[in-house]
Structures are given as structure tokens and as C-alpha cells.
């Protein structure tokens, strides 16, 4: 057996993320399971063998998502913050471009990372993926309610093993390991928060924006969901494995397909499109205010407005793309950060006696000389035009990606956006 690699820590903001690295293969490979504990996984022989096989043809990078395992457990969990954790670990181990293997909830995380950072993603493998809460089996949806009462108990572990490992349901050693695995993976409260996020997150709109080579792997029981996900990803391949046991590590079927998919794969050019969050801001009643103040006073006030907006963009990692008169166009690599930034901008500009409105949309943007363009930009602009003074208005895609952030929304209804086909559900961010 391979020596268990040391657990090290990367900093993701103020959160410590536990990780391990093993193997010296030609390709970097990040494995993101449902969730767990990277040290305790090695105590299960089947899991250890699975990791050793992956490391035989890659430099394998393992990590515990925030809120789980040996990583810090902040109060809130979001898919966006977990994506930040992947990037922090890759930076720590000097990985410029990696293949991503995500299982179940890990598939959502890896898909979002691949869409947002295609320049850092060599290939994407999704095992038993799901896009929306409706794709999850009922036990997964109930777990948030059960976690505080039953998480880590032998009875709950036995039920889980029977559901996901039917061929090993009577293996007492496995049941015991699984019960401890739950305890070492998360506290009851952290598990409940994790499952709440799982039950609210929807990446359906993200999947068509993935532009890296993608393989979807599943077993027969999960065929319909896996094929539905694969159909949304351009040019994704699909492979069905034998058997109906759920865990990625149960046999060598998955590792064989991953090695086959990655073996001899030539380095692909970086896609010329990327998933990004678009922010537009605009001063309400600017024409009237300028006329009342006069040109010089208005220029001075506008300069202070610009300074305030740019400070908040820098604080929330936003990128200014354009300033047209009294409005800003900026992009973000995470929708929750963009919402927080918009709220902060409105508050700061309000101190200057100005009313601001903001609109946000997350979508695929084509890159022209490094600048985003396309229908997603138009949608963001039109969403902002629907906002009232002091409001942050978002599309449904933004709302679906910030589950777990404690950001609350009020449904405004579906609106026709000028020049954009169809009707778009819009949401006001509650203060």
C-alpha cells in the first residue's frame, strides 16, 4: 500500500483547506467526491486502492471542501466558495492546468470550475452528476432534516450503505467505517448545512457553457440523470459502468475510464468563452441631478462616485470593463461576490446622496481581446434597466448559483427584456 500522504493546508481567504498530493503522472488530476475526510478515506481498503490507481497515471490532488473533513468549517457554504477552495489548492501546489474528477455533489463543483476557469481546466470527468435538486434521489433531499438527529449513527449509516452499496449491505466492517466516515466528515450541523446547499443549487444553465473535453460516467440506476446532464454539455461523451453500487471507489471501472479518457490526450487550446457574472450599475435620475448642480459640481460628484465604485470592485475582486457616463460595467468570477459588491456600491454611493440601481446575470461570454461579449452581456444590461432606485436585480441563473450564501430574494416575476428572446424570471435581492 502507498504511504498515506501528508495532510497540508492551503489558504482560501481566511479559510484553511486540507489537501494531499500523491503520484507523479504527466497530468494533474483533482478528485472531488460527494464529501468526506481525506485522511479517513485511506482507512477503507477499497477507497485506498481507488486513490492509488488514480495516482498511478496522474499527480493526484485531494482536498476536503470547506465545512467538511479536516478543513475549516465556516458558518455558510456555497458552491462559489468551494470553487475558490479548488483554486487556492491548485495555486498552493503550482498546478496551472488540471483535469477534474467530480462525483455527485463534487460534479457540480467541478462543472462550475470548468465553466468559470477553462484556462485552468484540461478535462472534466463527472461521475453520477446532477444538475438540479429534482435530479437527486429522495434520501439526499431528506438528509438536511435528518442530519441533526441521525447523522453519524450506526442506524443512519446502515441505511445509507444499503441504499448506495446494495452488494455490500451486510458487510459490518464497511458499515462501521461508513458510520465513522460520516462523523469524521462533518458535524451534524455542518452536514445539515451541506445538504441544504445541495438541495437548493441548480447548475442547469451552467452546463451548456462548458467548453472543455468532458466525460460523463454512470451506472445503470442513474442512467437517465447522467444522460440528461451529458446532453446539456457540448460534445460530452457518456460511459455506463457495470453494477449498481454508487461510490466511485467501489471497483476499478471508473479509474479505467478516467485513465482511458486522459491517456495520450493532447493539450487543448484554451476556449474563447467563459462563464462569468455581469454587473451593470447606473445612477437613477442623473440627468436631472446634473442640471440642478451644474457642470462643475456634477463632475466633482461623479468623480467621487467613480472612486467609490472602484474601491468596492477591488474589494470584491470585480473587473471594471467600461464606464459610460454614470454607469459601470464589470465582471466577476462568482455571483455571490458580485451581489455583495453591488450592495456595497449602492450603500457607499448613497452616502454621496446618489441613488443607484444594479443588475446582474451569469452566463457564457465570448472573449474578444480578453473582453466579454455576447448575449449574456446584453441580458445583464437589460436586467439593470428593470431595477428601481436602490435595488439589486438578478436573473434566475444568479439566484440558483448562490444557494447557501444566506442571500435572500423576492421574486419579481418574468419580464420580457428588450432585444433578448423569451421571458426572464427576475429577483430583487433583499437588503
Q: Which of 212, 239, 262 is the last residue of a domain?
A: 262
Our count of domains for the chain comes to 2
* Distance separating the N- and C-terminal Cα atoms of the chain: 54
**Tens digits of per-residue pLDDT, 66-94?**
999 999 999 888 999 999 999 999 999 99
69 with 30, same domain: the answer is yes
The C-alpha cell at 379 is 441580458
The grid cell for 338 is 458580485
Judged against a pLDDT cut of 60, whether residue 47 lies above it is answered with yes
The pLDDT score that the predictor gives to residue 1 is 62
Q: Are residues 233 and 306 in the same domain?
A: no
Predicted confidence at residue 275, as pLDDT, reads 94
Residues 6+ apart with CB under 8 A from 312: 318, 341, 344, 345, 348
Q: What is the rounded average pLDDT of the residues 410-425?
A: 90
Average pLDDT, integer, range 105-125: 96
Which of 221, 239, 262 is the last residue before a domain boundary? 262
Residue 217 belongs to a domain:
yes
Most confident of 129-143, 249-263, 410-424: 249-263
Residues 293 and 246 in one domain: no
Give the structural domain span for 367: 273-429
Strand partners, 8: 19
- 305 domain residue, yes or no: yes
* Confidence bin at 224 (pLDDT 50/70/90): very high
| Lowest-confidence pick of 33-37, 47-51, 141-145, 304-308 | 141-145
Q: Verify that 231 and 308 share a domain, yes or no.
A: no
Q: Report yes or no on 325 lying in a domain.
A: yes
In terms of domains, do 284 and 222 share one? no
Domain containing residue 245: CATH number: 3.40.50.1820
Instruction: Report the relative pairing of strands 59-63 and 98-103 from DSSP bridges.
Output: unpaired
Assign residue 318 the CATH number of its domain.
3.30.70.1230
pLDDT, tens only, 269-293? 777 789 999 999 999 988 888 888 8
* Same domain (yes/no): 314, 233: no
- Do residues 309 and 206 both lie within one domain? no
**Range 294-307 average pLDDT:** 92
Domain boundary among 233, 262, 291: 262
The 10s digit of each residue's pLDDT in 148-201 is: 788 888 888 888 888 888 888 888 888 889 889 999 999 888 888 888 888 889
Is the same domain home to 253 and 337? Answer: no
Condensed to tens digits (0 to 9), the pLDDT of residues 341-384 reads 999 999 999 999 999 999 999 999 988 777 888 899 999 999 99
Question: Same domain for 309 and 234?
Answer: no
Whether residue 293 is contained in a domain is answered as yes
Residues 257 and 277 placed together within one structural domain of the fold = no
Amino acid at each position: 500500500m502507498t504511504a498515506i500522504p501528508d495532510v497540508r493546508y492551503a489558504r482560501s481567504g481566511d479559510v484553511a483547506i486540507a489537501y494531499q498530493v500523491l503520484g507523479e503522472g504527466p497530468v494533474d488530476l483533482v478528485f472531488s467526491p460527494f464529501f468526506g475526510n481525506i485522511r479517513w478515506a485511506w482507512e477503507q481498503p477499497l477507497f485506498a486502492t481507488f486513490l492509488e490507481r488514480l495516482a498511478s497515471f496522474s499527480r493526484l490532488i485531494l482536498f476536503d471542501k470547506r465545512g467538511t473533513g479536516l478543513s475549516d468549517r465556516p458558518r455558510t457554504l456555497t458552491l462559489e466558495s468551494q470553487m475558490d477552495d479548488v483554486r487556492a489548492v491548485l495555486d498552493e501546489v503550482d498546478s496551472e492546468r488540471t483535469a477534474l474528477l467530480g462525483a455527485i455533489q463534487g460534479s457540480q463543483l467541478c462543472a462550475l470550475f470548468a465553466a468559470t476557469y477553462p484556462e485552468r481546466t484540461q478535462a472534466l470527468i463527472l461521475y453520477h452528476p446532477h444538475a438540479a435538486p429534482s435530479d437527486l434521489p429522495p434520501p439526499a433531499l431528506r438528509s438536511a432534516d435528518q442530519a441533526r438527529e441521525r447523522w453519524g449513527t450506526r442506524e443512519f449509516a446502515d441505511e445509507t450503505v444499503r441504499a448506495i452499496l446494495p452488494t455490500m449491505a451486510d458487510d459490518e466492517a464497511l458499515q462501521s467505517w461508513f458510520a465513522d466516515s460520516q462523523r469524521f466528515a462533518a458535524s451534524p450541523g455542518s452536514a445539515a448545512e451541506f445538504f441544504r446547499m445541495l438541495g437548493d443549487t441548480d447548475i442547469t444553465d451552467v452546463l451548456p457553457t462548458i467548453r472543455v473535453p468532458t466525460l460523463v460516467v454512470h451506472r445503470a440506476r442513474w442512467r437517465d440523470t447522467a444522460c440528461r446532464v451529458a446532453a446539456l454539455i457540448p460534445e460530452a461523451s457518456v460511459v455506463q459502468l457495470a453494477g449498481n453500487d454508487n461510490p466511485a471507489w467501489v471497483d476499478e471501472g471508473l479509474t479505467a475510464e478516467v485513465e482511458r479518457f486522459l491517456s495520450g490526450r493532447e493539450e487543448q487550446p484554451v476556449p474563447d468563452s467563459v462563464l462569468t457574472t455581469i454587473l451593470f450599475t447606473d445612477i437613477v435620475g442623473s440627468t436631472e441631478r446634473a442640471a440642478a448642480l451644474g457642470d462643475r459640481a456634477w463632475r466633482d460628484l461623479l468623480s467621487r462616485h467613480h472612486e467609490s465604485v472602484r474601491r468596492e470592485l477591488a474589494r470584491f475582486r470585480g473587473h471594471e470593463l467600461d464606464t459610460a457616463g454614470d454607469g459601470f460595467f464589470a465582471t466577476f468570477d462568482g455571483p455571490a461576490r458580485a451581489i455583495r459588491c453591488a450592495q456595497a456600491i449602492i450603500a457607499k454611493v448613497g452616502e454621496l446622496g446618489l441613488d443607484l440601481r444594479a443588475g446582474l446575470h451569469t452566463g457564457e461570454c465570448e472573449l474578444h481581446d480578453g473582453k466579454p461579449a455576447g448575449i449574456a452581456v446584453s441580458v445583464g444590461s437589460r436586467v439593470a434597466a428593470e431595477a428601481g432606485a436602490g435595488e439589486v436585480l438578478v436573473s434566475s441563473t444568479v439566484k440558483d448559483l448562490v444557494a447557501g450564501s444566506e442571500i435572500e430574494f423576492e421574486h419579481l416575476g418574468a419580464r420580457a427584456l428588450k432585444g433578448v428572446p423569451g421571458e426572464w424570471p427576475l429577483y430583487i435581492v433583499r437588503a
